[in-house]
Amino acid sequence: MPQPSEDLVIASGDLDQEMTLLDIHDHVLNAGVVIRGSLVISLAGVDLVFLGLDVVLTSVETAMRHMRLPDIGPPGASPKGSQR
């Protein structure tokens, strides 16, 4: 039965106003301009795709959802050089 949304969660402004880490991570990792390239490095133990000389970094998981990545190496691989 529809009713006024008293349980509506308003998450606006600063983090201490119920803006959750999930909200923020979802946006900064999944929204925005993407540039293309091909290389893997690690950031704080998390494998990131370091995309070429022109370059973007994104999470491997996110990148795999958006593009096919040949030869990026297994998780935990050492950082590669910046040459393509």
Partner 1 sequence: MPVLAYCITETQPEVMVPQAGVCGAAIRTVRVEDLQCFASQFGPQDVVGKAPIQEAALDFNRVLQDLLRQIAVVPFRFPTMLTDVTAVSQFLIEHQSEYRVNLHRLRNCVQMEILLKLPTSKQPQAASPKSGAEYLRGRQAQHQYIESIVARFREAADPLAKQWRHRETVAGIRCFALVDKNDVQVFLRQMKDVSVPTESEPRVTGPWPASEFLKEQ
Positions in 21-40 near partner 1 (CB under 8 A): 21, 23-25, 27-35
Q: Counting contacts by CB under 8 A, is residue 67 touching partner 1?
A: no
Cα dist from 7 to 10, 14, 19, 79, 84, whole Å: 9, 20, 16, 46, 51
Q: What is the DSSP string of 51-73?
A: -TTT--EEEHHHHHHHS--TT--
Is 7 a binder of partner 1 (CB under 8 A)? Answer: yes
* Site size toward partner 1, by CB under 8 A: 43
* Chain centre distance of CA 59: 4
Nearest approach in angstroms of CB 71 to partner 1 is 20
Residues that bind partner 1 in the complex, under the rule CB under 8 A: 1-5, 7-12, 15, 19, 21, 23-25, 27-35, 41-46, 48, 50, 53-58, 62, 79, 82
